[in-house]
Amino acid sequence: MSGNITVRTMARSPFVLVVGAVLTWFIAAFLVWPNVNILLATFFPDGSFSGRAAEKLFSSQRAMKALGNSFLLAVALSVTVNLVGVFIVLVTHYFRIRGSRILFLGYASTFIYGGIVLAAGYKFIYGDKGIVTSLLVRLFPAMDPGWFSGFFAVLVVMTFATTTNHMLFVANALKGIDYQTIEAARNLGASTWTILRRIVLPMLKPTLFAVTILSFLTGLGALSAPQVLGGRDFQTITPMILTFTNSPTSRDLAALLAVILGLATMLMLAVMSRLEKGGTYFSVSKVSSELQKQDITHRGANLAVHAVAYLLFAIYTLPVVLIVLYSFADGAAIQTGQLSLANLTLDNYVRVLTQQSGLRPFIVSVVYSALAAVIAVAGLLFVSRLLQKYKNWVASAFEYLLHIPWILPSALLALGLIVSYDHPNPLVGGAVLTGTTVILLIAFVTVKIPFTLRMLKASFAAVNSSLEEAAAIMGAKTLYVFRRILLPLVLPAAAAITALNFNSLLDDYDTAIFLAHPLVQPLGLVIKANTDGAEGTEGIANTFVYTVLLMVITGVTMYLVYGRSGRQRNRKRLPAAPPRSPVPGTALPAAQAPGEDDATRPAAAVR
């Protein structure tokens, strides 16, 4: 009965009707139809069912090998990321390790650079012409310069790139463990190892299941790392989709591969939802006793843990340090790998920031990212408020549809837009979008919808409902209440979400490689081209500068969104548990879908 009353109330509001109409059009045009159309193009190319694409796929040895490589990478990544991720969480949050704060800063370096930038950085350091490789070859002339390539290189890079999920979610879950449980076990004679194995790790199981599935999906849809470091011997599904997309005769193969990738993603998300029902993914309750760091009593084990912790610290920080140093190096130092004070110069920064060829891709990325971030937040401010206010089947249906970009991989979404709008389409007024600058902006907005919607809904849920009720009693209309009462209260959170969206799109490669206009190349594509040696030494130097600038922007954004809010909470002496609204300044729910570099896509994953 109440649901029917709510639907009738929604129907009487012009504001709700306008938002609903625009939302229906957007979902139909850019979320539903492109994905339905790609299925039709794959299995019904001439209006009748055809298995020709499947026959071509299964007869292609190259495509089948790419499928196998993707699943191999996904499984291996699920293991290695957990091993490294759990270890770095324990040495920074559970065990008493000397210099743990410094270690944390090193492990958290992936918060400020990731994606194509991280993959390019590792290639510049460890590739066949990399700085470290050149030094090793001089010391060991018989060494193979191409040692860091193929499956091994991709797995290593993606392992260290995706431990951000552990630093966010597993560390947060670890803080929720009741220290009295550990004390009781110790009083009963349990050793440090027994407590860790029988008490601590089992309590982290739900979160570990979640991040394991995120790691699996990240490996399954990997793009930038296999492209940059995989070489000819290790190709995965998404780069193969990109290759087939560029050929009109093979586009059906690209569509089928994208569908397979989407089905695998949905299957794993279904498993994740099943596991989620068995427990919480991070603690939001006050514990009776705050967790205290534990000593490693065995001397040998203590030395070994310290040694591994600082070895990992070196692996995490070496690319960052060398990229910063070589961003100031001249061409000769970059070519030879020999850096000295005499080689340091500001010429690289001057060239990038003053010359059109160097500054253009940076400006293109800034414009795209800013527009997409603002449009996503501005549009969903109205939508998220209505979905949070009205609890009925219509609102639920809209909300599920808006989460499609979390369910499907970016390659499938991009290919769907290409296939659907490479000819005049009435859904967009008969316009052709493929090959224009607009289609990439649409894709950027689309992929940010689920994250933005979830965070804005949480922000509106934290607003005291009595304020709106009082205004309604006094005769204020819906739009007036939203503009004068609700919007000022959620504006700080909206600004934080906008900053995070902007930050994560700056170096986007996965979407841009499919949809970018040939004459308007964003930063991710330019970095990839420079990694392949397209612009020689100058291009490499430009990439170093781009990476440093991106790290600075990301670091400032992370501080403004997380650091300042955390300090304000400490001054107000709020409890350690996350507040009701997760924005700003708290970790995202671990059950979120892959890639949403939450602040996680700095996180997130190299794809």
- Highest mean pLDDT, choosing among 19-28, 455-464, 526-535: 19-28
In the DSSP assignment, the letter for residue 108 is G
Q: Are 534 and 350 spatial neighbours (Cβ–Cβ below 8 Å)?
A: no
The DSSP annotation for 27-53 comes to HIIIIIHHHHHHHHHHH-TTSS---HH
How far apart, in whole angstroms, are the C-alpha atoms of residue 72 and residue 242?
A: 20
Going from the C-alpha of 441 to that of each of 25, 452, 500, the distances in angstroms are 17, 16, 17
- Under DSSP, is residue 345 helix (H, G, I), strand (E, B) or coil? coil
242 residue type, one letter: L
Phi, psi of 294 (to 5 degrees): -105, 145
Mean pLDDT, range 97-105, rounded to an integer: 91
How far apart, in whole angstroms, are the C-alpha atoms of residue 372 and residue 440?
A: 9
Please, what is the end-to-end C-alpha distance for the chain in angstroms? 47
Mean pLDDT, range 495-512, rounded to an integer: 88
Mean pLDDT, range 554-571, rounded to an integer: 67
Residues 362-405 have pLDDT tens digits of: 999 999 999 999 999 998 988 888 887 777 888 888 888 898 88
441 against 179, higher pLDDT? 441
pLDDT of residue 155: 94
How many C-beta atoms lie closer than 10 Å to residue 381's C-beta?
A: 20
Q: Is 570 exposed, middle or buried (0-12, 13-18, 19+ CB in 10 A)?
A: exposed
Assess whether pLDDT exceeds 60 at residue 588: no
596 against 219, higher pLDDT? 219
Buried b / exposed e over 241-258, threshold 16 CB at 10 Å, is bbbbbeeeebbbbbbbbb
Portion of the chain with pLDDT greater than 90, in percent:
22
566 against 198, higher pLDDT? 198
Q: Residue 517 pairs with which residues in a beta bridge?
A: 520
Mean pLDDT of the chain: 81
pLDDT of residue 589: 38
Assess whether pLDDT exceeds 60 at residue 162: yes
- Under DSSP, is residue 294 helix (H, G, I), strand (E, B) or coil? strand
Q: What is the pTM of this model?
A: 0.80
How far apart, in whole angstroms, are the C-alpha atoms of residue 586 and residue 169?
A: 10
Q: Are 290 and 179 spatial neighbours (Cβ–Cβ below 8 Å)?
A: yes
Q: Which tokens belong to 427?
A: 């859904």
pLDDT of residue 196: 85
Residues 399-432 have pLDDT tens digits of: 888 988 887 888 888 988 998 998 899 999 999 9
Q: Are 94 and 173 spatial neighbours (Cβ–Cβ below 8 Å)?
A: no
Compute the chain's Rg from CA coordinates.
25
Going by C-alpha positions, the residue among 318, 327, 323, 306 that lies closest to residue 160 is 318
Q: Are 368 and 505 spatial neighbours (Cβ–Cβ below 8 Å)?
A: yes
Q: Is 181 exposed, middle or buried (0-12, 13-18, 19+ CB in 10 A)?
A: middle
Q: What range defines the domain where residue 515 resides? A: 2-603
How far apart, in whole angstroms, are the C-alpha atoms of residue 527 and residue 547?
A: 9
How far apart, in whole angstroms, are the C-alpha atoms of residue 414 and residue 407?
A: 14
pLDDT of residue 564: 56
Going from the C-alpha of 139 to that of each of 136, 142, 143, the distances in angstroms are 5, 9, 9
How far apart, in whole angstroms, are the C-alpha atoms of residue 387 and residue 215?
A: 30
Say how many domains are in the chain: 1
Q: Residue 294 pairs with which residues in a beta bridge?
A: 95
pLDDT grade for 28, boundaries at 50, 70 and 90: very high
Q: Are 434 and 417 spatial neighbours (Cβ–Cβ below 8 Å)?
A: yes
pLDDT of residue 159: 94
Q: Are 247 and 238 spatial neighbours (Cβ–Cβ below 8 Å)?
A: no
Q: Which tokens belong to 272?
A: 């994740």
Residues 6+ apart with CB under 8 A from 299: none
pLDDT of residue 595: 37
Residues 213-272 have pLDDT tens digits of: 888 888 988 888 998 898 888 889 888 888 888 777 777 888 888 888 888 877 877 776
pLDDT grade for 567, boundaries at 50, 70 and 90: low
Residues 6+ apart with CB under 8 A from 379: 445
pLDDT grade for 583, boundaries at 50, 70 and 90: very low
CATH code (residue 502): 1.10.3720.10
Query: Could you check whether the bond before residue 488 is cis, i.e. omega within 30 degrees of 0?
Result: no
Mean pLDDT, range 85-98, rounded to an integer: 92
Mean pLDDT, range 205-209, rounded to an integer: 82
pLDDT of residue 281: 40
Residues 60-74 have pLDDT tens digits of: 888 889 889 999 999
Residues 6+ apart with CB under 8 A from 356: none
pLDDT grade for 571, boundaries at 50, 70 and 90: low
pLDDT of residue 106: 92
Alpha helices in 94-200 (DSSP H): 100-107, 115-126, 131-139, 150-161, 164-165, 171-175, 179-187, 192-195
